[in-house]
Amino acid sequence: MGRTRFSSGEVMSETAAVILAAGLGRRMQSSIPKVLHRVAGRPMVQYVIQAAREAGVERIVVVLGHGADAVRQALDGDCESVVQPEPAGTADALARAAPILTASPDCRQVLVAYGDCPLLTGDLFRSVIEAQRQAGAAIALVSSIVEDPRGYGRIVRDPDGGVRAIVEEAAATEAERAIREVNAGVYCFDAAWLWERLPSVPRSTSGEYYLTDLVGLAAQDGRRVCAVTAPLEITAGVNDRKQLAMAEAVIRDRVRQRLLEAGVTLVDPATVYVDATVRIAPDTILYPGTLIEGNTVIGPGCRIGPYSRIVDSWLGSSVTVDMSVIEGARVGDGTRIGPFSHLRPGAEIGPRVELGNYAEIKNARIGADTRIHHVSYIGDAEIGERVNVGAGTITVNFDSESGTKHRTVVQDGASLGSDSMLVAPVTIGRDALTGAGAVVTRDVEPGMVVVGVPARPLRRRRQSAG
């Protein structure tokens, strides 16, 4: 059982978390399980798991329902999961985790949250865990004060400030509907009390069982229910595409703030979009119109943008990317890319390479200090170091008749003339040179100059590039 630790380092309690992720999400109008909709590059449920981890909770059980297999694949590898076979309410969903957690006698607190609340934070979870422990309460819950409480369950308090009930809007009196303190759907339970009283939750008129009814059971037992208040900017859940967009805006702003605090310059933060999964080192500058997505890592001192997109790629230090797209690629230190270059999956670019206007690289390795400045396609190739690739060079890698692709090899120091066509499989030897417009269909010996269609040897190269 995971021990929850607070800033003092003291072991505060034995806590497990249950994340409810079984909902259908009908208002999303999607075949994708609601908790798998992405916010800043990550499924919503992963944010809730991360918040529980940040709060020090090690044991996490996720209750699955619609799309259980897909959701299970998106979970933290250390999470446990159970399935709610039919949607029968939140209390029924929590009960599915009981056999797992009641088997651990040292589980004294149970934190419960919804998997569609990606804005929740570890600090908030720590606060509600501590509130339950300090008060000895049956339940500590999270509430929010909102301008418009319509659609939310209202928090009804006792004169002493404790929570007496959560009243759903349909059952609320006129006075209760005027209450602006609403239920945020995060709870921390006294585990022993929870497992004893959970079977007593009554069936609602809809035939389901709701966690909010546990507040009334606590009042019957004379047990305290306390509340921790947090802003809606942290507690808001996602039920439709509009709320998904709102959550996206909040998370992306958090990412921007984290980057700024970590020494990354954002020239115009509002126009830079960085996924929560991205890592960027200090002294890198992100210019307007830049999108950085997926599991991208960017080293120090880089200049990215304007108007560039980088996805699932690794960039070393002092790399410049100007109005270009990089997908699934690795880029060495000091390389300059763009404007209008495109690195496709499998591109491996060495240090100090120059890729200029309209250079496209796919599944190819480019050696150090090589230059590809103008309107060229290099695919399925091995390009050595200090190679000059002239404007309009194409690796002809696809055999349309057989449907297979072949590799091109260009060794160190070679120079490819403008409009060279390298018909793979073919090797251009070290320090060789192809004339403008050459169509190379056979291997070229090191140091040889070839010209024509098809290319034929002309002479030895006068001055070696090596």
CA dihedral 300, 306, 308, 314 (to 10 degrees): 0
Distance CA 111, CA 91 (A): 13
Residue bearing tokens 């304007």: 306
Residue bearing tokens 């709610």: 84
Catalytic-labelled residue, pool 66, 373, 374, 406:
374
Contact at 8 Å (CB) between 21 and 64?
Answer: yes
Question: Going by C-beta distance under 8 Å and a sequence separation of 6 or more, which residues neighbour residue 323?
Answer: 305, 306, 307, 308, 338, 339, 340
Distance CA 460, CA 452 (A): 15
Distance CA 371, CA 365 (A): 13
Cis-peptide into 282, omega within 30 deg: no
Active site residue 342: no
Q: Which residues of 107-116 are buried (b: 16+ CB within 10 A; e: fewer)?
A: bbbbbbbbbb
Distance CA 265, CA 252 (A): 15
* Secondary structure of 426-460 as H, E, C letters: EEECCCCEECCCCEECCCECCCEEEECCCCEEEEE
**Nearest by Cα to 337 from 350, 324, 348, 346:** 324
Distance CA 331, CA 297 (A): 10
DSSP symbol at 414: -
Q: What is the largest CA-CA distance in the chain?
A: 99
H or E stretch including 297? strand 297-298
Question: Going by C-beta distance under 8 Å and a sequence separation of 6 or more, which residues neighbour residue 19?
Answer: 45, 48, 49, 52, 60, 61, 62, 63, 112, 113, 114, 115
H or E stretch including 86? none
Distance set, CA 205 to CA 89, 202, 210, 261 (Å): 12, 9, 11, 51
> Which amino acid does the sequence have at 199?
P
Distance CA 198, CA 209 (A): 10
Distance set, CA 17 to CA 38, 186, 215, 223 (Å): 22, 11, 19, 22
Listing DSSP states for 225-237 in one string gives EEEEE--HHHH--
The residues assigned a catalytic role are: 374
